[in-house]
Amino acid sequence: MLNQIKDFTERHAFGVCSYLGEKIGVSTSRVRVYFIYISFVAMGSPIIFYLFVAFWLNVKEYIKRSRRAFEG
């Protein structure tokens, strides 16, 4: 049951922690834990950073899809 919830969340979340983990070379779960700790310490301000990166990743993916559609 817990694995199903985790898989659902990872599929439907923005993927910011996964992206950052891949780029930095750190496990995704560690990035998530650090993000939670930093959010508590900084009183939620990293959430703005998270939303900005999520927006940027969605725009980046949209551009990739439109280029593939235009070329193909």
Ramachandran sector of residue 70 (left: φ over 0; alpha: ψ -120 to 50; beta: rest): alpha
Rounded average pLDDT over 4-14: 68
Predicted TM-score (pTM) above 0.75: no
User: In terms of pLDDT, which residue wins out, 46 or 72?
Assistant: 46
Per residue in 20-69, pLDDT (tens digit) is 888 999 988 898 888 889 988 998 788 888 888 888 888 888 888 888 88
pLDDT score of 25: 93
* DSSP helix/strand/coil, 38: helix
C-alpha distances out from residue 7 to 10, 13, 46, 63, 67, Å: 5, 10, 24, 26, 29
